[in-house]
A and B are shown apart, each in its own frame.
Chain A
Amino acid sequence: MSENRAQNTQKPGTNIFGWPDQMGHFGTYGGRYVAETLMPALLELDTAYRKYVLDESFQKELYGLLKDFAGRPTPLYHAERLSKKTAGGAIYLKREDLLHTGAHKINNTLGQSLLAKHMGKTKVIAETGAGQHGVATATAAAFFGMECKIFMGTEDIRRQAPNVNRMKLLGAEVIPVESGTGTLKDAMNEAMRYWVSTVRDTFYVIGSVAGPHPYPAMVRDFQKVIGEETRRQATEQIGRLPDHLVACVGGGSNAMGLFYPFLNESIRMTGAEAAGRGIETGKHAATLCAGTLGVLHGSKSYLLQDEYGQIKEAHSVSAGLDYPGVGPEHSLFKDFGRVEYVSITDSRALEAFEVLCRTEGIIPALESAHALAAAMDIAANTPADYVIVVNLSGRGDKDLGIVEEVAGA
Chain B
Amino acid sequence: MNRIEEKFKTLKDKKEKALVGFVTAGDPDPETSESIVTAMCENGVDILELGVPFSDPTADGPVIQRSSARALKAGMRLAGVLEITRRLRKSSEVPIILFSYYNPIMAYGVDRFYKDSLSAGADGVLVVDLPPEESGELTSGWKDDKFCLIRLAAPTTPEDRMRMIAQNASGFLYMVSMTGVTGSGGLDTTEIGDYVEKLKRFTDVPVCVGFGISTPSDVAAISAIADGVVIGSAFERTIEENIENPDIASIIGKQTQAYKDATR
When the two chains form their complex, are residues B156 and A41 in contact, meaning their CB atoms are under 8 A apart? yes
When the two chains form their complex, are residues A199 and B179 in contact, meaning their CB atoms are under 8 A apart? yes
Known contacts: A37-B179, A40-B161. The answer to whether A193 contacts B59 by CB under 8 A is yes
Known contacts: A294-B107, A309-B108. The answer to whether A193 contacts B152 by CB under 8 A is no
Kindly specify which of B32-40, B84-92, B124-132, B218-226 makes contact with the partner chain: B124-132
Interface residue from B54, B58, B130, B158 paired with A40 (Cβ < 8 Å) = B158
**Shortest distance in angstroms between B75's beta carbon and chain A's nearest beta carbon?**
10
What 1/0 flags go to B40-66 for Cβ under 8 Å of A?
Answer: 000000000000001111111100010
When the two chains form their complex, are residues B129 and A294 in contact, meaning their CB atoms are under 8 A apart? no
Contacts of A31 in B (CB 8 A): 133-134
When the two chains form their complex, are residues B107 and A179 in contact, meaning their CB atoms are under 8 A apart? no
Interface residue from B56, B104, B105, B154 paired with A36 (Cβ < 8 Å) = B154
Given A295-B129, A310-B55: 17 more A-B contacts, CB < 8 Å: A33-B130, A33-B131, A36-B151, A37-B155, A37-B156, A37-B180, A39-B156, A40-B161, A189-B57, A192-B58, A193-B59, A193-B181, A197-B179, A295-B102, A309-B54, A309-B108, A310-B72
Contacts of B151 in A (CB 8 A): 36
When the two chains form their complex, are residues A197 and B78 in contact, meaning their CB atoms are under 8 A apart? no
Closest-by-CB residue of B relative to A41 is B156
Which DSSP category, helix, strand, loop or mixed, fits chain A's interface? mixed
Q: Count how many pairs of residues, one from A and one from B, have CB atoms less than 8 Å apart in the complex.
A: 114
Interchain CA distance A180-B56 in the complex, whole Å: 9
Contacts of B179 in A (CB 8 A): 37, 196-200
Interface residue from B103, B129, B161 paired with A35 (Cβ < 8 Å) = B129
Size category, B interface: 35 or more
Interchain CA distance A31-B130 in the complex, whole Å: 10
Interchain CA distance A35-B157 in the complex, whole Å: 11
When the two chains form their complex, are residues B106 and A309 in contact, meaning their CB atoms are under 8 A apart? yes
Which A258-297 residues have a C-beta within 8 angstroms of B?
293-297
Contacts of B65 in A (CB 8 A): 179
Interchain CA distance A196-B154 in the complex, whole Å: 10
Known contacts: A36-B176, A39-B161. The answer to whether A297 contacts B153 by CB under 8 A is no
When the two chains form their complex, are residues A36 and B131 in contact, meaning their CB atoms are under 8 A apart? yes
When the two chains form their complex, are residues A296 and B103 in contact, meaning their CB atoms are under 8 A apart? yes
Known contacts: A35-B128, A37-B155, A193-B181. The answer to whether A308 contacts B104 by CB under 8 A is yes
When the two chains form their complex, are residues A295 and B106 in contact, meaning their CB atoms are under 8 A apart? yes
Which A25-58 residues have a C-beta within 8 angstroms of B?
31-41
Contacts of B163 in A (CB 8 A): none
Closest-by-CB residue of B relative to A306 is B107
Interchain CA distance A196-B156 in the complex, whole Å: 10
When the two chains form their complex, are residues A199 and B156 in contact, meaning their CB atoms are under 8 A apart? yes
Interchain CA distance A303-B176 in the complex, whole Å: 29
When the two chains form their complex, are residues A39 and B131 in contact, meaning their CB atoms are under 8 A apart? yes
Interface residue from A23, A40, A200, A308 paired with B107 (Cβ < 8 Å) = A308
Most chain-B CB neighbours within 10 Å: which of A31, A34, A185? A34
Contacts of B61 in A (CB 8 A): 193
What 1/0 flags go to B92-133 for Cβ under 8 Å of A?
Answer: 000000000111111110000000000000000000111101
**Shortest distance in angstroms between A46's beta carbon and chain B's nearest beta carbon?**
11
Interchain CA distance A238-B149 in the complex, whole Å: 59
Interchain CA distance A25-B53 in the complex, whole Å: 27
What 1/0 flags go to A141-160 for Cβ under 8 Å of B?
Answer: 00000000000000000000
Known contacts: A196-B180, A197-B181, A308-B78. The answer to whether A296 contacts B56 by CB under 8 A is yes
